Structures are given as structure tokens and as C-alpha cells.
Amino acid sequence: MGMTIHFTAATPEELDKGKQDPEWVEDFIEGLWGDGEFSTPDRPCGGPDKAWAGLEYLLGQADDVGLEFLMDGDMLLENGTLFAWPPEQVASLAQRLRALPWEQLAVHFDPEKMLAENIYPRVWDCEGELEWLKGSYEEVVTFFTEAAEGGYGAFMEFSF
């Protein structure tokens, strides 16, 4: 399966409840998925999946955003698998991401360097990886934009 990151939009009240009872969040998110389909189409969800470290690398090279998926947000579980991102953080990141076109990130794609730096998932020299990163970036931008427009924060799940 590998290490993945996924975001689910959450209201301020849901974030507060999750901070008080992190185990509630798992049931809450699971309840939004009915039979493998996201049952709440008006609530944004998505994420970079396995592309998270590659996107972090490109964003860090671009110097404009400096996103660290596993350091940003408020850690809810000590094992580092669940985070809460308040609406203000989601809105700020959405604004910064919308201002950063993919082409500005793509120039930093360097498979040899990314492999040498052990950037997960270590597939950067395979054909199609730049397009995969582009699709993941677009999904992240869409998620944060839609969540911000709805006044949402987010729960971020890190699976490994």
C-alpha cells in the first residue's frame, strides 16, 4: 500500500470535537464513505496520496509555499497519523497554492537528485512521474481551494 496522505474537509465544530476525541475522527471519516464512495459530494476530499513527498520537495525548491504535510496542522494522534488543519490555515494555503502555477514547480523536477535525496516513493526515474505529480498537485490545489471556499478546515490522515 505505501505511505499516503488524504484530506477530508471539516467544520470548525468537527475539528474541535476531533481535538477532544481523536478516535471519533476515524469513525466520522469512515461514515462519510459509504460502500467505498464518498457519500458527501458537497464536502471536499482528496489529497496527494503517495505523491506527498515529491510535492513537498518541489514546493520546497520553489520557495514560495514551503509545505510540510507531516509537520503542518495540529497533530491529533501521537503516532503522527492524524492532523487537524484549521480553516485559517486551509484558506492561507489555498491562496498560496493558487498563486503557484504547476510550471513553476515542474522546473524543479530532477529525478536523479530526488532519488539521491531518498524522496518517497523513489520512482522518480520512471516514465510518467512528472505527469503523476502534476495530477496530484492539481488535486491538492482543488481540495484546498474548495475547502477554503466552503469555510472548512481539514482532517489529514497519514497512512503507512
DSSP 43-105: S-EEEEETTHHHHHHHHHHH-S----TTTSSEE-STTS-EEEE-HHHHHHHHHHHHTS-HHHH
Does residue 64 surpass a pLDDT of 70? no
**For residue 86, what pLDDT is reported?**
97
The partner residues of 47 in beta bridges, in order of sequence, read none
Q: Looking at residue 69, what is its pLDDT? A: 86
- Cα–Cα distance between 108 and 92 in angstroms, integer? 23
Is residue 35's pLDDT more than 80? Answer: no
Query: pTM of the full predicted structure?
Result: 0.93
Look at residue 66 and tell me whether its pLDDT is greater than 90.
no
